[in-house]
Amino acid sequence: MRTTLLAAISVALLAGCGSDNDSNTESPTEPVSNTYLQDHAGVYQSAYVIDNQAILAQLVVNEAGAVLVTTNALEQSSSANAALPDDISQLDFASTAQCSDNSGAFDCTIAGQTVTLRKATDTVASISSLAGEYQLQSNNELTSIQVADSGEFLASINGCELNGQLSIEADAIVLKQLEDSCGEPVELGVAFNGRENSAPESLEVYISSSALTGDWIKR
């Protein structure tokens, strides 16, 4: 998995070469709204280097919100959901990053470094093709996740029932309508097709502060 992740970072770095002039173009800010999110829906990504370490940044914008995922070459990932008050003029991710739209891309300041994330064109499978049983290693417990043809999924983790809806919107796999029987708040989540060669049908799932985060390996 590390080899394919490094390849993805390398491709993103090459794609970003020579784009500095584009990132200097300023665009006027506008309040974020559902219309704003709909107009900018999609997956944006780029790679950058900080402290001699390559990082892959992926931003998913959906009418229900925005999620930023960063992954280093050691496959250590973190995700954050944007706060979306009505009067906001940029996407703020829990004080860890800020992103503003710029001519079809997003200029993001992450850990003090500004990176231009450009729209990705990867093809995403249909929802029905994602149906089946998945396994997730969470808190030293092997959990089974059932995904129906409709995209509805159900899992039981640490005595709590978690369910929600997988959907494909603007070339992004999103997890929404999430409910936790134990009453824990669950935010909008995103998923990417797995990069693990031995499990090509796996999903890399990111839901902030949720036990559902991790590699869903299809059985």
Find how far residue 57's CA is from the centre of its chain.
Answer: 9
Alpha carbon of 96 to those of 33, 80, 89, 104, 111: distances in Å? 21, 8, 16, 23, 7
Which residue range is the domain that position 33 belongs to? Answer: 2-119
Q: How many structural domains compose the chain?
A: 2
Q: Which letter, b or e, does each residue of 162-175 get, where b requires 16 or more Cβ atoms within 10 Å of its Cβ?
A: bbbbbbebbebbbb
Q: Which stretches of the chain score pLDDT less than 50?
A: 1-7, 11, 13-32, 197-198
Same domain, 109 and 134: no
In a shared domain, residues 89 and 153: no
Q: Check whether residue 7 and residue 115 sit in a common domain.
A: yes
What is the DSSP track for 143-160?
EEEEE-TTSEEEEEETTE
Boundary residue ending a domain (72, 100, 119)? 119
115/22 same-domain check: yes
The one-character DSSP state at 82 is: P
pLDDT at res. 9 = 52
CATH classification of the domain holding 48: 2.40.128.50
